[in-house]
Structure 1
Amino acid sequence: MKGMRCFLVAFTLLAFANSLASAFDPSPLQDFCVAINDTKNGVFVNGKFCKDPKLAVADDFFYSGLNMPGNTSNPVGSNVTTVNVDQIPGLNTLGISLVRIDYAPYGGLNPPHTHPRGTEILVVVEGTLYVGFVTSNPENRLFTKVLYPGDVFVFPIGLIHFQFNIGKTEAVAFAGLSSQNAGVITIANAVFGSDPPINPDVLTKAFQLDKNMVAYLQSRFWSD
C-alpha cells in the first residue's frame, strides 16, 4: 500500500512537471499550420484556424518592411514594429516572432514592460542602448548592460525589462521572441492607463503616493 502511495505521488508530480513544461507554445506535430480566418474549412490550433497545407503559398511565410524606420515622435521616443503570427500566418504553432525597435536620439525609451509568453533575445544594429531587467520578488535584482552594434542581450520570460538610448544618434535593434505571440504589458500604461481606471485608493496605497499624484499619473499615461 505504501509503495502504491509513493507511485501515485511520483506520478502526480511527473504529470504536474509535464504540464508546466507544456505551458508555453507547444511543439507542432506537422510541418506548418498557416493561420486563416476561415471557420468553415479550417482546423483550430493555437488560437487560429489552419489552412489546408496543400493550399499554402510562399507569401504565407513572408513579411516585408523591417527595413523601414518606425515613427519615434511619441511621448517615449520609440517605436516597435511587430512581426508575429498576425503578420506572418505561417508562424502559427512555430513558437517564434520578431520585432524591430527604433529609438529616438538620446532619451528614446522602450519603457519597462513584460512579455508574459516569451523570452526575448535582442541584438543592437545601430546606436548605443542601456538595457536591463529586474528579477522577481523578493530579490528584485537589477541586471543592466550598455550595448553597442553587434551586442546581444537576453530578457527572460515574464520579467520586467527596458531599453534606453543613451547615444546622440538614433538607435535600432531587432529582437526575437520564443512565442508566435509573446504579448506585451507596459507597466506604467497597464497600472495608470487601464480602462476603466484602477481605483485611486488602490494605487495610492500600492505606490505610497498622494492621491493627487495618482490622479495626475492616470491622466498622463496612454495605452498603445
Structure 2
Amino acid sequence: MMKGVPYLVTVALLALASTLAFADDPSPLQDFCVAINKTEVFVNGKFCKDPKLTTANDFFFSGLDKPGNTENKLGFNVNLVNVDKILGLNTLGISLARLDFAPYGLNPPHTHPRATEILVVLEGTLYVGFVTSNTDNRLFTKILNKGDVFVFPVGLIHFQFNVGHTNAVAFSGLSSQNPGLITIADAVFGANPPINPDVLAKAFQLDKTVVNYLEKIF
C-alpha cells in the first residue's frame, strides 16, 4: 500500500505543475507591479514602477457607470478596463468590461485568446453562447436575464445578442490583464493585407464574388 503513495504524490505534483504551466497570466512574485510604459522595448507584460512611488490612483478607474455609445452597425459598445487603464492590474491576471447593447444589439462571434470570461447581466435579456473546439463544434446557448451569470471558456468562439426590446447592460470579468480580442468576421474578411480570396472561397465554400464583397465591407 505504501509503495503506491510516492506514485500518487508524483502524479499530483505533475498535475499541479501542468495546471500552473497553462495558467492564463504568470503568477505575481510580489504584492503588485504597477505598470509603466516604455515604448522602446517590448516585454511579456509591462515594466514595474518603484513601489515607493505607487499611489492609490494606480489601482483606480472611474466611469463604468456611464453607458457606452451603441449607435453603430452592431448596436453594441464595450468599455474594457485592462492594464492600460488600471496600471496596477499588471501581473494580477484580471480585467473587467462593461457591455452595452441597444435593442437587438450584438457582440459578434469572437474569442479572447488569453482569458476565460464570466458575464453577469445587470439589465435586459441576452441570448449568449459559445462553440467548442473542432472536436465536435458543439454549441452551448442560454437566455440570460437580470442577475444571471454565464461563463465563456478561454479561447472559444462566443457571442452575446440582446433579444429584448430595451437596452441591455452586462459586466464581464476576464482572467487576464490583457485578454485580447479576435472578432471572427473582422479577422477573416478584414485582414490587412487581405487574405487571398481563393483561400476564403474554398474555406467557406462560397463563390469568390461573395468573398470579394465581404472583404470590401469589412
TM-score normalised by L of structure 1: 0.87
Partner residue in 2 for 1:34: 34
Partner residue in 2 for 1:208: 205
Question: For structure 1, which segment, 70-79 or 118-127, has the greater mean C-alpha deviation from structure 2 after superposition?
Answer: 70-79
* CA–CA distance in structure 1, aligned partners of residues 58 and 83 of structure 2: 10
- Equivalent position amino acid for 2:46 in 1: K
- Picking from 71, 93, 100, the partner of 2:98 is 100
Partner residue in 2 for 1:6: none
SS of the equivalent of 1:162 reads strand
SS of the equivalent of 2:127 reads strand
* CA–CA distance in structure 2, aligned partners of residues 37 and 182 of structure 1: 18
1:15-30 → structure 2 map (5 Å cutoff): 18=17, 21-23=20-22, 24-30=24-30
1:60-99 → structure 2 map (5 Å cutoff): 60-99=58-97
Q: Deviations 1:38-84 (Å, cap 9, x if unpaired)?
A: 589xxx97421100001100000000000111111111110010100
SS of the equivalent of 1:172 reads strand
In the alignment, structure 2 segments of 5+ residues that lack a partner are 1-9
Task: Tell me how large the CA RMSD over aligned residues is.
Answer: 2.2
Partner residue in 1 for 2:6: none
What is the CA-CA distance between 1:148 and the residue it aligns to? Answer: 0.3
**Equivalent pairs: percent with the same residue?**
74
- Equivalent position amino acid for 1:141 in 2: R
Partner residue in 2 for 1:3: none
Q: Deviations 1:144-188 (Å, cap 9, x if unpaired)?
A: 000001000000000000000000000000000000000010000
What is the CA-CA distance between 1:138 and the residue it aligns to? Answer: 2.3
In the alignment, structure 1 segments of 5+ residues that lack a partner are 1-9
Closer, same or farther: CA 141–39 of 1 in aligned 2, 3 Å: closer
Closer, same or farther: CA 127–45 of 1 in aligned 2, 3 Å: same
SS of the equivalent of 2:165 reads coil
- Picking from 124, 128, 141, the partner of 2:125 is 128
TM-score normalised by L of structure 2: 0.89
Partner residue in 2 for 1:56: 54
Closer, same or farther: CA 36–192 of 1 in aligned 2, 3 Å: same
- Equivalent position amino acid for 2:130 in 1: F
SS of the equivalent of 1:145 reads strand
* Alignment coverage as a number of residue pairs: 207
Question: For structure 1, which segment, 46-55 or 145-154, has the greater mean C-alpha deviation from structure 2 after superposition?
Answer: 46-55
Partner residue in 2 for 1:170: 167
